Structure formats: C-alpha cells, structure tokens
Amino acid sequence: MPWTGYTLNDFLLFAPETYQRLFIRYHEAIWPLQIPAVIAMLVIPWLILRRGGVEPRMMRIALPILAVVWVWIGTDFLYQRYGEINWAAVWPAAGFMLQGVLLLATAFAEPEQPPDVRVPPAARDAGLLVMAAAVILLPLAAPLSGRPWLSAELVGVTPDATALFTLGLLALKPLRLRLLLLPVPLLWCLLSTLTQIAMDWPDAWILPALAAAAVAATLLPREKAD
Amino acid sequence: MCLTRRQLLARTAAGLAALALSPVAAGAGAPAASDGPLNRVIPSSGLAVPAVGLGTWITFNVGRDPEAIAGCTEVMRAFFEGGGRVIDSSPMYGSSQMVVGRGLAALDARDRVFSAEKVWTSSGGDGPEQIEETRAFWGVKRFDLMQVHNLLAWQDHLETLLAMKAEGRLGHVGITTSEGRRHGDFERVMATQPLDSVQVTYNPLDREVEARILPLAADRGQAVIVNRPFRQGALTRRLEGVPLPGWSRELGVSSWAQALLKFILAHPAVTCVIPATTRVDHVRENLAAASGPLPDRTLRERIAADVEAAV
C-alpha cells in the first residue's frame, strides 16, 4: 500500500474521549490493584536511595518486579483493552511482553560482584529525576491539562509512566546489558507521543522530553571504578 | 422508485450539464425534496437511498464501553427516525462494526439499514473470511454494498465481490478512496470495472474529484458516496463562531455543517454523503440538510469561497 499522502491523524483510529474512557474504565476495572502496583514500583527507588546506588543484588529485586508489570500492562491493558479500539495494539502488546522477558533474563544475568565500572553522577541524577517524574509528574499531567483524574497515567499500571520509569532506571545501570532494555520503552514513548500529538494534547511534549533525558543518561559512557 | 439505466444516465448527464451551464440548478439535477429527506438513486439497480447517510470512522470505535455503545445506539436511533438508511463502516475502523451490529440489534433495524461495508486486507484469499466476519458483526443476511477499501488488493477483491453479487450474496459492489489518494488508479478502475458505486472525499475545500471522477461516475452510471464532508470535523471546528453568510437564509440552513452538506448534495453525481458524528442533535441536523432547496452553481461557488476565506 502506498503511504504517501497520509498524515499522523490518518493513523488515529479513535476519538480523544474514547482514549480517555479507555483509561478510566481500566482504572475502575482493576481498582484497588493500583495501590500494590505503585507500592511495588516505589520499592525500587527506595532501594537505590537507601543503598546509595545501583547494586547487582538490588537489580534482582527490581527487574523482576518491573518484568511482571510490563507483562501485565502488555496483556491486560494493551492487548485486551487498547486492542478493542486499535487493531495495531497487538504489536506494542507483544513488545511489552518481550520487555518483560528481557527484564527477567537480565535480572539474573547481572554478576554477583559489583562491576569495576561506575555510573557517572550526571546519569545517576538524571535517572532518578526521570523516575521521580514518572511517579509524580505524569499522573498530574492529565488533570493539569483538563483531562479527568481517572484517565491519569500511573507507574506500574499504565504504559507511559511505566516505560518512562524503566528508562530512568536504565540510566542508573552500569553494565552494557542496559542497552538491550532500551529499545522497547523508547519505541513505546515514541508511539505514545505520536498518538498524543494526533489527539492535540497540550502536554504531549512531556513524555518525549523526559524519555530523551533518560536515554541520553543511559548512553553516557560508564566510568572506571576507583 | 425504479428507473431504467438509460433514463438515469440521461438525468445525471442533464444535471451535470445544468450545473456546468446554468446559474440556477435547483436541486442540481435531482429535485429538491420539500416533503422529507432527499433520496438519490443508485444507477445500476434503480434503488433509491436517502442522500444523507452515517459514517462510523472514529466515532463508533468505542470498544466494549457500554456507555459509549449506548450513545452510538442513540445516534443510530435518531438516524433511522429521521429517515436515514445508509450506514458505512470498515474492518479498518476498530470496533465500529461491532458497535453498529449492537445498535442494529438493539433497534431491531437490520431490515431498515442500507449496509455499506468494506473489505480491507492485503490478501485476496482472506477477503471472503473477512467479509463473513463483518457480516457476523452486523448480523445482516447480506450486505447492500461491499466496497474495496482504498483499492487495497482491488483486483482480487473485486473478483470475489462480483462473484458474490452474481450469486445474489451482495447487493452492490464498489471501491473507495479518501483524501485524494491514488485518484489516477481509482479512475482506471472506475473506467474498466463494472462498479455500482465509488466512494471519495469531497467538500468545498477538497474538490479534486469534480474534474474527472464525478463526471466519470456519471458517465459510467456509478453511484457516488462522499466521505469526510467535514474533514473529520476539522472543517466544522474551524468554522465555529464564523457567522453564516446571507445565503444561509436562502438555503434554509442553520449551521455550517448543513451548508457543507448542501454544497456536496447539490452536485448531481453525488448519491449519498456520510458524515460521522457521536451526537444525536448533529445527526438530526445532518439529515435536515437533505431537505429544502439546494444551492445552484453560482451559490455553490460562493459557499466554497466563503468557506475558504473563513478557514
């Protein structure tokens, strides 16, 4: 099929109100799962701050938690719910499930001993800031932009906040393996941003700006440990 | 109402000539309806259909949301109550087909609807299965019109559709495009295939089809369904707050949406226009555009100029 002459809007299959309703109905359907999901996700930055950095042992707790969340969002939200209004949702859903597998696989691929590389302070700070933004700023974006509270993004529950949170965490990882975990959340952020632009969301810049910061931090060369 | 193909072609040709030559083409070749919504005839079959239909792109893709499905059903109820019949959908439109089917079942309207659907798959072999899935969604015995969506795998699909029509499993066969895509290919298919209808984008800002496609449809005795009359709502949104010019009283229109629809319906080659909406009041407003006078050639140009100036 020739794709010339298509605009971004031609790929938007639903009304913005329908997209909002999708989130509202999802939040209503899974309530009160949001509470344990968010708490589980908050364990990750708590571990990081408590220990003063990312340790391989800590990743064996953090990454499996994230893996479960990615698989859950891929199957329940993207495949079953988003798939109702977007026949192409099967692809991001598969991507989320793949990311879950990769997170689980890399969790146990970390060495027992801390590596002789260290995360630069700039990458560490940027990663933590992006994670904080995913937890605090993204849920506020909907009501601050005039959309219903119940349509908000929530870390550990919805795709944007979870993808962004994951990108923030990757910026804190010392090993090259982190690059393997970059494509799926990055692609989702790109796809979601395009959807938001097509829907004329005034806050469509937030996700790509934060994702870009996290990716830049992730790509920063790691330093030799003293 | 049943006319011979020759009579229909003559009438359409006369209408086109009137539109081209006469400053006044009231009803533009098809008399304006003063006693209810305007009907137009599908040339190949002589079947009359109301000139304002209902599109489902975006608006009916609401998933399994019961509240939103109920809203779509109310839109359909108002549509049927207002004399509408033609509903158009596609497998490309997400859950729209399922939502249409739910509405038809709730309103017991399967016998009232003129079902216009599309086949949309790159594999010709998958066409029959997709059509059957679509039929199951609608719950109708057969489709009144099945169109090849955006010319995708059109050779294979047309073969399937024409065979189905010959067997009495389809009412009419057509092709669709939108936003001016592939008009060259579209014309070639129109000129060489035994089509009952074509579906194109047409409104006061998108007039490319006036040059060749609409005259060719008239020549070939093909019905014309018009999509995106409001550019997916962008046009009516841009015109919000713009006062209606003086000619609105002449035409008896109370909104820009009605003016846009009358502009489209005044072209004699146009059979049916399919605006999509989620609002009951808009459905009624759209259907009302098919009643009363239609603009003549001069007035159509003024409408187009005013729309262009306003956006």
A170-216 tens-digit pLDDT: 999 888 889 999 999 999 999 999 999 999 999 999 999 999 999 99
A195 contact residues in B (CB cutoff 8 A) = none
* pLDDT of amino acid A55: 75
Q: The pTM is what?
A: 0.90
Q: Which residues pair with B199 in a beta bridge?
A: B176, B225
**Averaged over A123-127, what is the pLDDT?**
94
A20 touches B: beta carbon within 8 Å: no
Cβ of A5 and B122 within 8 Å? Answer: no
Residue of B nearest to A29 (CA): B65
Shortest CA gap B239–chain A (Å): 18
Rounded to a whole number, what is the distance in angstroms from the first to the last CA of chain A?
57
Taking only the tens of pLDDT, chain B with its 311 residues reads 444 444 444 444 444 444 443 323 343 334 444 456 799 999 999 999 999 999 999 999 999 999 999 999 999 999 999 999 999 999 999 999 999 999 999 999 999 999 999 999 999 999 999 999 999 999 999 999 999 999 999 999 999 999 999 999 999 999 999 988 999 999 999 999 999 999 999 999 999 999 999 999 999 999 999 999 999 999 999 999 999 999 999 999 999 999 999 999 999 999 999 999 999 999 999 999 999 999 999 999 999 999 999 99
* Partner residue opposite A1 with nearest CB, options B64, B94, B152: B152
Count CB atoms within 10 A of the CB of residue A122: 12
B-interface mutation test, from A3, A6, A13, A19, most B Cβ less than 10 A away: A13
Shortest CA gap B152–chain A (Å): 7
Cis peptide before A183 (omega within 30 of 0): no
Shortest CA gap B95–chain A (Å): 6
Using CB atoms and an 8 Å cut-off, which of residues 234-253 of chain B contact chain A?
Answer: none
Note the Cα A63 to chain centre separation in Å. 13
* Partner residue opposite B94 with nearest CB, options A9, A14, A25: A14
Look up residue A10 and give its two tokens: 């031609």
Q: What is the 3-state secondary structure (H, E, C) of B3-70?
A: CCHHHHHHHHHHHHHHHHHCCCCHHHHCCCCCCCCCEEEECCCCEEEECECEECCCCCCCCCCHHHHH
Angle between helices B213-220 and B183-192 (to 10 degrees): 10
Q: Judge whether B265 and B51 are in contact, CB under 8 Å.
A: yes
Cβ of A85 and B93 within 8 Å? Answer: no
**Helix, strand, coil distribution of chain B in percent, nearest 5:** 50, 15, 40
Q: Judge whether A115 and A174 are in contact, CB under 8 Å.
A: yes
Query: For chain A, how many residues are written?
Result: 226
